[in-house]
């Protein structure tokens, strides 16, 4: 189940992440284990998270490879290292929708959000290239803490895709 999509303004947001290049079938096995590693890195460096963890889809080629970051927002910009990178989520207008349910439903929620924007003539901040779609900011934000809510069917995930200015 998803809420109705909406358009919001997001401020620039510093973050730290670990990136992975995967095919679509590897996402579930590869990315979730990276988040505890990012949180451990934050703890080791005495840095607090400033929000919910997310996956940031940087390059999408569904037939080949996706480049995705498993990230956590932080209050102020920090310096990463050879494993954990530091970046900043782009400020601007985002089309968003909240999905409540098992993560398996995110594929349909994503398709619905893409179609919703298409029907309204909205354009994504994305560039087509030989290796796939390069997105300025395409996020899955995991609002539910699995420790507090172990039932995956009750998890709340926000999709937030940056719109072209």
What is the CATH code of the structural domain delimited by 6-162? Answer: 3.20.80.10
pLDDT tens for each residue of 80-105: 999 999 999 999 999 999 999 999 99
3-state secondary structure of 163: strand
Q: What CA–CA distances, in Å, run from 4 to 50, 78, 97, 123, 160?
A: 26, 35, 6, 18, 13
Find all residues with CB under 8 Å of 90, minimum gap 6, and list them.
12, 125, 136, 137, 162
What phi and psi values does residue 134 have, to the nearest 5 degrees?
-100, 110
Q: Give the Å distances, CA to CA, from 143 to 41, 60, 112, 126, 164.
A: 20, 23, 20, 25, 25
- 3-class SS at 147? coil
Q: Considering just the CA atoms, what is the radius of gyration of the chain in Å?
A: 15
Which pLDDT score, from 0 to 100, does residue 3 have? 76
Model pLDDT, residue 156: 96
Q: What is the pLDDT of residue 2?
A: 65
Joined together, the tokens standing for residue 67 give 């480049």
Nearest 5°: the CA angle 39, 160, 60 is 85
Domain ranges of the chain: 6-162
State pTM to two decimals: 0.95
For residue 155, the model assigns a pLDDT of 96
Residue 110: partners with Cβ closer than 8 Å, 6 or more residues away: 159
Query: Whole-angstrom Cα distance, residue 147 to residue 76?
Result: 26
User: What gap in Å lies between CA 49 and CA 39, rounded to an integer?
Assistant: 8
pLDDT in tens, the chain (165 residues): 567 999 999 999 999 999 999 999 999 999 999 999 999 999 999 999 999 999 999 999 999 999 999 999 999 999 999 999 999 999 999 999 999 999 999 999 999 999 999 999 999 999 999 999 999 999 999 999 988 999 999 999 999 999 999
d(CA 17, CA 35): 8
What is the phi/psi pair of residue 38, to 5°?
A: -65, -45
């Amino acid at each position: 189940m998803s809420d109705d999509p909406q358009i919001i303004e997001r401020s620039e947001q510093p973050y730290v992440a670990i990136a992975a290049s995967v095919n679509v079938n590897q996402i579930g096995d590869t990315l979730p284990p990276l988040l505890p590693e990012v949180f451990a890195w934050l703890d080791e460096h005495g840095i607090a998270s400033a929000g919910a963890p997310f996956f940031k889809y940087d390059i999408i080629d569904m037939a080949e490879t996706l480049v995705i970051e498993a990230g956590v927002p932080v209050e102020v910009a920090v310096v990463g290292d050879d494993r954990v990178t530091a970046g900043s989520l782009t400020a601007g207008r985002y089309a968003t929708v909240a999905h409540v349910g098992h993560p398996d439903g995110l594929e349909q929620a994503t398709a619905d959000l893409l179609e919703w924007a298409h029907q309204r003539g909205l354009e994504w901040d994305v560039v087509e290239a030989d290796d796939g779609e390069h997105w300025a900011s395409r996020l899955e934000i995991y609002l539910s803490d699995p420790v507090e809510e172990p039932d995956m069917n009750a998890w709340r995930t926000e999709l937030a895709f940056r719109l072209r200015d």
